[in-house]
Chains A and B, each alone.
Chain A
Amino acid sequence: MGEIIKNRDEKKFIANIQQPQQPEIIRETSKKILLGLHASGKTTFMAALWDLLQHDYSPTDLFNLINIHLIDTEYLTEIHEFWSAYKEVLHTRYEDRHHIDLYIQNINSQRQHTLSFLDLPGDIFRECWTERHWDESIDQYVQNADGVILFINPINQMYPNSINEVYEVYHDVFLDPQDYPFDIDSFFEDMAIPWDVKPWEADDAPSQVKLIDLLQIVLQKCHPDCRFTIIVSAWDTIQFNNISPELWVGRRLPLLMQYLISNFSYRKNFKIFGLSAQGAPYSPGAERERAKQKLENLDTIKRIIVSKAKNEPGTMFDILKWICNE
């Protein structure tokens, strides 16, 4: 009798082992393309993201790196070196096409994601506007992409000038209003000849025009449910104005904002973040050392400055969460 009971217990035990109660793992694959003109912070974003995922910093982490596509580690290591040395990353070469596949998991929800990024040189996107050339290698990727991350660098934006502003400049610089002995229009006509006016070229167009043109192409190609993430990089240079990222875009790039609102619904299809992946402005020599000392003791998560809607402070994970659709 005793033996039989023992056997029964064993069976129960085995049954328990055979049916472990684990939550079901969902793995979602999504392809993201990084858009933005040259020096808009695409590569720096990748470097910061890599650092963030690579190290276990604190229990506040939301995402965990599981694995990475091995081919790209060399490139990631290189840009990470620059990032951790508080240097500006090398400009991405014209022929470079960096595919980065990251396998990450949300610690809370246990959902797994395969995020594959395509980091391209900004020159390609500039060519879209100037040469009307759309690279074949991007096209395939864009068609399969379900997420677009657009970078805007507020520092090297070309802002449009209105005619009124031009007049003002002329007046301020060259003329005292009392010295108008002649008709102002004929004055400009005369001026045009000796000054050897530079002809307009495609590169002179305001940055937001270029970006809208780019978005327009992408929008034609990509999936209708594609998520757009607008990242205003170098946010540390703007932050002190106490302005929210979407307000900043609305004020400084009104055409772009108008385009976004009329094509997408806010918070459903697109979101705007402010991001300083570096945490401080790039500056040479002693200033860099100072910034370095200041930031060195901080965790990555604190070094990277992120601003959400209404200028609420956030973290990189907020962006990831939005990108991963969680």
Chain B
Amino acid sequence: MDKFHQCLHGYSNKKGHHKIAASISLSRQSEQVMLSMSDRSGSLYNGFKEYITLYSLDSEKEYQYALAKTWEAREIRRPGCVWTHTILFTQKLKDIIQDLYPLMKYFRHPLEPDTVDASFYEKELGISDLEIKKNHDSSDSDRSKKQLIQACLNENNQEKPIVVRAKNAKEYEKLVFEIWSSQKDLTFCTGALSIREISKRPLRVQVVPKKINYRSDMYFINEHNQVIPDKSHITEKVKLFQFIDRLSDDDKVIDQIIQFIKKIVSNNSVFLELFEAAVNYIKQNKHYSLHEIDLFKAYIKYQSDFDGSLLNLSERTRQLYESFPKEAVDILFDNLKNSQELPKIICNGIARAIIEIKIGVDKKLNLLKSLNFFLENFADKNELQIDIQFFIDWQKSNKDIPSIIKLFKKYYPDKKKKKALKKAFLGSFEERTYFKKKNEEHFLLSAFAEFPKLQEYFDENDLLLKKRVKFFWNEVDNEKKKQLIKIVFENRCNELAKIMFSEIVRKIDTDTSKYFIFNQDLGPNKDCNKYLLKKIISSREEKFYLPILENVRQEDTELKQFLIEEFKLHPETPLEQHIDKSRLIIKQMIESGYNVNELISINGKRQILNIIKQLDIELASKKFGEIADLKEFDIIDFFNHIELSIEAGSFISDIKWTEIAKIIHDGNSEQKNDLMLYFLTVGFQHSHSQLVSTAFNPVCAALTNKEFESSTNWKIFQSKYLEKNFFSRKNYGKQLTNLDYLHFNLFKLFSEGRLKKVYFNDIIIEKKLLEKYFLRFQHFYKIKKYKKIYKFIFDVTQGKL
């Protein structure tokens, strides 16, 4: 048997308030709690010079209950010092102790004559078994106060202490002990000079002197037996307790109590609270024998008054069946046809207990048997739901799908059973705790993909497949995902697998797609990869494209070919719409070694511009050779974007441009003229830039003189740069002589009214001077030498002089 330990605290000049002696050493945390609990409970008050405290030391494993007596130490000069003798006992002893009162005589004041010295407290305390088991006569205690305190203790709010005002610490000592005897988890102090708490949790019952007043964080019981605040039906409870005390022990106790409660309250929630308080009160005071079975009978009899969800029935039904099997079965069969909710829950609970206990839950055969049993017996008789617990257990123990399919085969034609089966099978996966077990979900999904027969019994709505896949995908690691993809792929002809596969594709994000497609483990023949790739491309979400293209390298010709063909099947790829986004993709592709044809077929024609932009100089000229070679390639599309490609154009050598221009010029395109014009216009508009030498010059080279003059003369006036280029470059000078240039300059000078001078090979020709000299020319007109010049100028200026 466990022994009692003890401890003495007190004050000394040397050490202050400290532990003087102890028969046991406790953890540091407990020592600290004891140090503060053994000190004075508050400021001094007459009548409270000795008091008892009972508290628990939560950090202790063995000796966790402390019963302490505190005396004011008048022997010590310094006021406010105390002696405290603490008796420590275990949980076991707590259960054995009937009453605390007999223990009181074991408390020793340290200065009592028979307490020799501190060594007394260093030994274990010898208390005889007789004393422990003694029951104190409690007839003279204050009944109504006790009921009041018990009613308060019945309140749900555990944080609020019950504070009882008293004349002195002795007044309610016996009363508190009595309450403790019936409720042994109680903590208390019979002389709380201030509200006592251990790490902010107050002792439950505290007897206080008059000077302490009501605060909102307590239930306060004053001298007139009034409880403040009285909002929590405490008075009703006291009335109820009084009524219970008056009852005699017979079968109808519960009926009488329920009738009484109904009389005093109307509200349903209060009813339950009071009923539970009454049950607790009866159990604590042991007035009558109250069996669980009686309570269940009462629940069913007065079912409309009880709320099943608050009664914690699932555990209690099992306990009920264990302790009263006969009666429980009676309840079950009496109420099988009862369609009310509460009896249903109770019946279901009992039925489950029967199967679990009678048939057992361990072996797989037994489980199937019990399921059979359940379907045979209960699914028919009323609409009892099969308890999901079976399937959960079944899952734990085995994963025998074929036998489940057999079950389905057997019971599926029956509508009610079918419903129950489906619900049970799926319900077992719905259970929240099992949702966390990723294996289970994976198992369910693969079960559906793998067993075509199982699919016959379910449709998509039953399964919430999309939700499941989504959940699964978020929770599990890549290995599991891979397994699922494999299984789903292998069964891709099944309807459910198809749905799952498309859902998987939707769930794959950019990073994981890389993992799944290019991981060689996914499928030996890359079929799965291709299938997944196909699905992804047909989903037309551009976020996948980059990782895909990044990973399909030049050397993997098979996959690349597949990819190109796949893209061709879906010509309106999102790449065409999102020019900016596809830039990266194109770059990636060029690096991977795609040729222009492939680039264009994958990315779409509009992306040519981007292709140009991504090419480096050397590569660009190469590629443009290829572009130029593309006869079928709609070059007008290309020039639609030429305006934007100025930067790109600058990379390309003149020769290439000339080639392009020649191709255009020599070609039979109907739009040829328009195209050339357009080409030139663009060239002129950007004549300040390099394009003059790139776009314009080759066109000039390709055009004949007449063609050129007819359309472009006027444009050259506007740009000195263009002009210089046009006339000074040797390669075009073949057709255009200096005379042409002079002709051009004079024409320009006289056709543009604002111009006052022009530059011609470093010679400044001024309008005014020329006019002056022209008049002189008239005199020379007859001379042959100048006649030609005169005519030339006259022609050029169109007789304006």
Contact between chains at A91 and B78 (CB < 8 Å): yes
Residues in chain B near residue A37, CB distance under 8 A: 16
Which of A76-96 touch B at CB < 8 Å?
78, 82, 87-91, 93-95
B39 sits at the interface (CB 8 A): yes
Q: Does A123 interact with chain B (Cβ within 8 Å)?
A: yes
Given known A90-B79, A91-B78, A91-B79, contact A126–B40 (CB-CB < 8 A): no
Indicate the size class of the contact surface on chain B.
Answer: 20 to 34
Interchain nearest-CB distance for A76 vs B (Å): 12
With A78-B43, A95-B39 as contacts: A158 and B79 at CB distance below 8 Å: no
Does any Cβ of A come within 8 Å of B17's Cβ? yes
Given A91-B78, A91-B79, A123-B18 in contact, is the A39-B43 Cβ separation under 8 Å?
Answer: no
Query: In whole angstroms, how far apart are the Cα atoms of A39 and B16 in the complex?
Result: 8
Residue among A78, A90, A122 with the highest chain B CB neighbour number at 10 A:
A90
Interchain CA distance A44-B262 in the complex, whole Å = 61
Contact call A203/B78, Cβ cutoff below 8 A: no
Q: Chain B 2-26 against A: per-residue CB contact (8 Å), 1 yes, 0 no?
A: 0000000001011111100000000
> Which residues 1-57 of A sit at the B interface, judged by CB distance below 8 A?
37-39
The smallest C-beta distance from B779 to any residue of chain A, in angstroms, reads 95
Q: Does B36 contact A (CB under 8 A)?
A: yes
Contact of B16 among A87, A122, A131, A282 (CB under 8 A): A122
Within the assembled complex, what's the spacing in Å between the Cα atoms of A216 and B35? Answer: 25
Contact check, A158 vs B14: say whether CB atoms are below 8 A apart. Answer: yes
Cα distance A75–B17 in the bound complex, in angstroms:
20
A121 lies within 8 A of chain B by Cβ: yes
Chain A residues with CB under 8 Å of B648's CB are none
Interface residues of B in 32-62 (CB under 8 A from A): 35-36, 39-40, 42-44
Does A258 sit at the interface, judged by CB under 8 A?
Answer: no
Report the number of A-B residue pairs with Cβ-Cβ less than 8 Å. Answer: 59
Main secondary structure of the interface of A (DSSP, over half): loop
Contacts of A87 in B (CB 8 A): 79
Assembly CA distance A37 to B78 (angstroms): 15
Residue of A nearest to B81 (CB): A91
For residue B523, CB closer than 8 A to chain A, the reply is no
B44 near A90: Cβ-Cβ < 8 Å: yes
Interface assignment of B325: CB less than 8 Å from any CB of chain A: no
Q: Is B80 an interface residue (CB 8 A)?
A: yes
Interchain CB contact under 8 A, A126 and B16: yes
- The answer, among B28, B36, B78, for a CB contact under 8 Å with A93, is B36
Please provide the chain A residues from 126 to 145 with a CB less than 8 Å away from any CB of chain B in the complex.
Answer: 126, 131, 133
Most interface-central of A38, A88, A122 (chain B CB within 10 A)? A38
A122 to B17: give the CA distance in the assembly, Å: 9
Does A156 sit within 8 A of B, measured CB to CB? yes
| B797 to A: closest C-beta gap in Å | 86
In the complex, A131 Cα to B31 Cα: how many Å?
11
Closest to B9 in A: A94
Q: How far is the CA of A94 from the CA of B10 in the complex (A)?
A: 12
Given contacts A78-B43, A94-B36, contact A39 B78 (CB under 8 A): yes
Distance of A126 Cα from B40 Cα, bound (Å): 18
Distance of A309 Cα from B266 Cα, bound (Å): 78
The 8 Å CB contact of A203, one of B15, B36, B77, is: B15
Q: Do A95 and B15 touch (CB < 8 A)?
A: no
Q: Would you call A93 and B40 a contact (CB within 8 A)?
A: yes
Bound Cα distance from A121 to B81, whole angstroms: 13
Cβ of A82: which chain B residues have Cβ within 8 Å of it? 79
Q: Are B36 and A95 in contact, CB atoms less than 8 angstroms apart?
A: yes
Look across to chain A and name the residue whose beta carbon is closest to the beta carbon of B198: A95
CB distance from A223 to the nearest CB of B (A): 29
Contact of B80 among A91, A95, A123 (CB under 8 A): A91
Chain B residues near A93 (CB-CB < 8 A): 17, 36, 39-40, 42, 80
Chain B residues near A126 (CB, 8 Å)?
Answer: 15-16, 18
Q: What residues of B have a CB within 8 angstroms of the CB of A123 in the complex? A: 16-18, 35
Among B425-455, those with CB < 8 Å from A are: none
Provide the residues of chain A in CB contact with B81, threshold 8 Å. Answer: 91
| A131 CA / B28 CA spacing, docked (Å) | 9
Chain A residues 112 to 131 lying within 8 A of chain B, measured CB to CB, are 121-123, 126, 131
Chain A residues closer than 8 Å to B42, beta-carbon distance:
93
Q: Which residues from chain B contact A91 at a C-beta distance below 8 Å?
A: 11, 16-17, 40, 78-81
Given contacts A39-B13, A123-B18, A156-B13, contact A94 B35 (CB under 8 A): yes
Asked whether A94 lies within 8 Å of B15 as measured between CB atoms, the reply is no
User: A261–B79 Cα gap in the complex (Å)?
Assistant: 36
A134 to chain B, nearest CB (A): 13
With both chains docked as a complex, state the minimum distance between the C-beta of B367 and any C-beta of chain A, in angstroms: 54
**A279-312 near B? 1/0 per residue, CB < 8 Å:** 0001010000000000000000000000000000
A90 touches B13 (CB 8 A): no
A126 to B15, CA, bound (A): 8
Residues of A within 8 A of B13 (CB): 39, 156
Over the window 69-96 of chain B, the binary record of Cβ atoms lying under 8 Å from chain A Cβ atoms (1 yes, 0 no) is 0000000011111000000000000000
Complex contacts, A88 vs chain B, CB 8 Å: 77-79
Name the residue of chain A whose CB is nearest to the CB of B41.
Answer: A93
From B11, which residue of chain A is reached at the shortest CB distance?
Answer: A91
In the complex, are the beta carbons of A90 and B43 less than 8 A apart?
yes
Q: Which residues of B contact A38 (CB under 8 A)?
A: 15-17
Is there contact, CB below 8 Å, between B40 and A90?
yes
In the bound assembly, the distance between CA atoms of A315 and B362 in angstroms comes to 86
Taking the closest CB of chain B, its distance from the CB of A237, in whole angstroms, is 15
A39 to B76, CA, bound (A): 13
The residue of chain B having its C-beta at the shortest distance from the C-beta of A39 within the complex is B78
* Residue of B whose beta carbon sits closest to that of A126: B16
CA distance A91 to B12 in the complex (A): 11
**CA distance in complex: A39, B14 (Å):** 10
- Most chain B CB neighbours (cut-off 10 Å) among A37, A87, A89, A123: A123
- In the complex the two chains form, what is the Cα distance from A283 to B45 in whole Å? 22
Report the bound CA distance from A140 to B40 in whole Å: 26
Question: Quick check: A94 and B80 within 8 Å, CB to CB?
Answer: no
The answer to whether A121 and B16 have CB atoms under 8 Å apart is yes
Within the complex, the shortest CB–CB distance from B439 to chain A, in Å, comes to: 44
Expressed in whole angstroms, the Cα–Cα distance for A158 and B13 within the complex equals 10
**Can you list 10 pairs linking A and B with CB atoms under 8 Å apart?**
A88-B79, A90-B40, A91-B40, A91-B79, A91-B80, A123-B16, A123-B17, A156-B14, A282-B77, A284-B77
A91-B78, A94-B36, A126-B15 given; name 14 further pairs at CB < 8 Å.
A38-B15, A38-B16, A78-B43, A88-B79, A90-B44, A90-B80, A91-B16, A91-B81, A93-B17, A93-B40, A94-B17, A94-B35, A121-B17, A126-B18
A residues near B (Cβ < 8 Å) are: 37-39, 78, 82, 87-91, 93-95, 121-123, 126, 131, 133, 156, 158, 203, 282, 284
Q: 4 tightest A-B contacts by CB?
A: A90-B80, A38-B16, A95-B36, A94-B39
